[in-house]
Chains A and B, each alone.
Chain A
Amino acid sequence: MEKKNEKGMLRRAVDSYGIPRLIITGFLMSMFVLAPFAGVDLWTQFTNVINRFSWNAVLVLAMVPMIHSGCGLNMGLPLAIISGLLGATLSIELGFTGPMSFFMAMLLATPFAILLGAAYGWLLNRIKGGEMMVATYVGFSAVSFMCMMWMLLPYKSPTMVWGFAGKGLRTTISLEGFYDKALANFLTIDLNRFGINLVIPTGSLLFFAFLAFLVWAFLHTKTGTAMTAVGSNPAFAKAAGINIDKTRMLSVILSTWLGAVGILIYEQGFGFVQLYMAPFNMALPAVAAILIGGASVNKASITNVIIGTFLYQGLVTMTPTVMNSMIHMDMSEVIRVIVSNGMIVYALTRKTEGGK
């Protein structure tokens, strides 16, 4: 009798964790276990995973407000990335250097994020129920429009424009001398002198923790609770006197701003600004990450962000090295494509509570 109950509990625990997530966690665990046997240094791998976590976590965090207000997965992340890129390029153009340029990039990106976010939110309020598809194509249109703009806008800074033509931005701009590792170098923990290959970019992690805390705190304010209400039960929210359109727009602006800051943090870790078609494919990894973390189309928490980013980035960094040294066959890209997109398809086919 008791055994049966236990089995039921196990079953329930598995169900609540989700089978796909269980498989991914198991896979990642086996990668970590196999790593030493494959002759891969575990600490180097840890460093890689933590580093990539610190680059990407804020981009994943940018999903949370929109999911909360019922706008679905933020497929329009490229739009947010573009406001971040505008901030980054303007900050360099205006001659800021060092960590100051990072701060200025954030500051300069903010008005763009608010403006684009407001327009984007206005549009999404017109098309409730079909957000994700429209968002995908809004993102694509924005990216291809900006491709023309990067060539035509009158940027002058010699570090950014093509050398021979003197106009038009380069596809990748090095951040050396600007905000390369601006956060990562703050309070870095480097264990190399003890013979352990572990480097922790404390500053980036702290900054993510700070932003995550802000989002968490915001979701517990009155406005934040209203946002959750709009997402989980719009009819009830309307009856309670909440202005649905306004709340949704606020969430979109917040998501866009977080996305803009997210790409700046990504750049400071990566060391380069990538323009033109680069933002094109940045939405899907972030969406996949939060879903792997256990979020659904209309429910997400900070824990989902942390677990999801860790699992996804772990998968991306661990699989190539471990697999390569084990079977001399690099299937990591294929595995990444199948896992991340399969996870999104799985989430889309789940029945979701709450109306649209």
Chain B
Amino acid sequence: MANNNNTPRLGQKTVGQKILTFLGNNSVPIMFILICAYCIPASGFSAGYLLNEIVTRLGRNAFLILSLLIPIMAGMGLNFGMTLGAMAGQIALIFVADWQIWGIPGLILAAILSIPFSVGLGVFIGKILNKAKGREMITSYMIAFFMTGIYQLVVLYMMGSIIPIKHASIKLPRGYGIRNTVSLLQMRQSLDNLLSFTVGGVKIPVLTLILIALACLFIVWFRKTKLGQDMRAVGQDMEVARDAGINVERTRVIAMVMSTVFAGFGMIIYLQNVGNFPTYTAHSQIGMFCIAALLVGGASVDKASIGNVFLGVILFHTMFIVAPKTGAAITGDSMIGEYFRVFVSYAVITVALVLYEAKKRKAKSAAGAQLAAEQAAEEEA
């Protein structure tokens, strides 16, 4: 009888607790929903325009953000080195633009061409990260800066002088180096426009979305394979995984290679949508915005799902679209809105990093306390 009375009350309490923990775990997305709810009416954009922008940006960014999931699974944190994949994609696009192969064939060729670059760069970054276990994020962050230098060296000085570039339209007038902007006008949105249709003013890029869906399916499938399971084991605990006979170093390098290849494809999809790219700066902000979007979607440094990617893209880019206009409406200066969105991107990453590190420390000290308690119990016995 007493039991019967107790159970529903207990159940109710857990529901209340559940709501609280749900709120606690999803504080970042909820905060963003509130920001968007406030900013959207203040910005005065029409629903159709907003929806169209969001769908465009979803198609543009989702593939890039998906590339972040695999290193998180392998316990390597947020892959700031996805910038390297973006560079590989850009180099492939430069070649394709030089050979004047446009449209879908050009995109496919660029994707194939980017693979060797991505694999090479992925192995490079994976090997270095194996030497910097425990501080993968800061190291991958610095590698991205380092490789930007190498990328500049190759594109600005070697292309045209050592690496043959024949077309004058993308070469600098001095005879070597690539112009500041590479135009992809002839393949602009060729992927998005194929099979696309318009519903009430909202263009839906079906083929791009199909590719994104395929990437999602691949990740879902990959998690179930032997290699995917190994990766999760490595992510949980490297030492345990090693004892279980998993080649930890190799698994981590593979995770980075996959992420880099994905990022390369993602960058090609991104750039075909935009239609041109600033040769020397296109990749530099990509990593930061993708990571911020993923975190806004409710991911953390050690846990991210496909759902986080989509929620993140929608929330983050809604904020991005409406912030300048809202800032102008409130303070009379659109620059405030511009700075506000930059601030929010950085603040979200900061908060997520702090929460993750604090949690890690807490878990560590809890494990230590447990060990001490066990030892004390042993001594008593």
Contact = CB atoms under 8 A, between A and B. Distances in A.
A348 B350 contact: no
A344 B357 contact: no
A338 B149 contact: yes
Interface string A109-138: 000000000000001001111101110111
A23 interface: no
28 contacts: A126-B354, A126-B361, A127-B361, A130-B135, A133-B138, A133-B353, A134-B354, A137-B353, A138-B350, A140-B346, A144-B339, A145-B343, A145-B347, A147-B342, A333-B152, A336-B149, A337-B149, A337-B152, A338-B146, A341-B146, A341-B148, A344-B145, A348-B135, A348-B138, A348-B139, A348-B142, A349-B128, A356-B134
B346 A137 contact: yes
Contacts of A331: 153, 157
A187 interface: no
A151 interface: yes
Contact of A132 (B131, B138, B143, B148): B138
B333 interface: yes
A21 B153 CA distance: 21
Q: Is the interface of B mostly helix, strand, loop or mixed?
A: helix
A148 B336 contact: yes
Interface residues of A, number: 38
A137 B350 contact: yes
B138 A151 contact: no
A137 B357 CA distance: 13
Contacts of A239: none
A338 B153 contact: yes
Contact of A137 (B132, B145, B149, B349): B349
B303 interface: no
Interface string A332-348: 01111110011011001
B161 to A, nearest CB: 10
Contacts, number: 112
B357 A345 contact: no
Contacts of B143: 345
B150 A133 contact: no
B178 to A, nearest CB: 14
Contact of A134 (B132, B157, B353): B353
Interface residues of B, number: 39
Interface string A154-168: 000000000000001
B139 A349 contact: yes
Interface in B247-295: none
| Most chain B C-beta atoms within 10 Å of own C-beta, residue among A129, A333, A334 | A334
A214 interface: no
A75 B141 CA distance: 12
Contacts of B107: none
Interface in B321-344: 331, 333, 335-336, 339-340, 342-343
Interface of B: 128, 131-132, 134-135, 137-139, 141-143, 145-146, 148-150, 152-153, 156-157, 331, 333, 335-336, 339-340, 342-343, 346-347, 349-350, 353-354, 356-358, 360-361
Contact of B142 (A138, A152, A168, A345): A345
B354 A123 contact: yes
Given A341-B146, A349-B131, A141 B354 contact: no
A137 B137 CA distance: 12
Given A127-B353, A144-B346, A338-B150, 10 more contacts: A128-B361, A129-B360, A134-B353, A151-B333, A334-B149, A338-B153, A341-B146, A348-B142, A349-B131, A349-B139
Contacts of B148: 337, 341
B141 A133 contact: yes
B152 A334 contact: yes
A242 interface: no
| Most chain B C-beta atoms within 10 Å of own C-beta, residue among A144, A145, A344 | A144
Minimum-distance CB pairs A-B, first 8 = A337-B149, A127-B357, A338-B149, A130-B357, A144-B343, A341-B146, A349-B131, A137-B350
A279 B152 CA distance: 23
A338 B152 CA distance: 10
Contacts of B357: 126-127, 129-130, 134
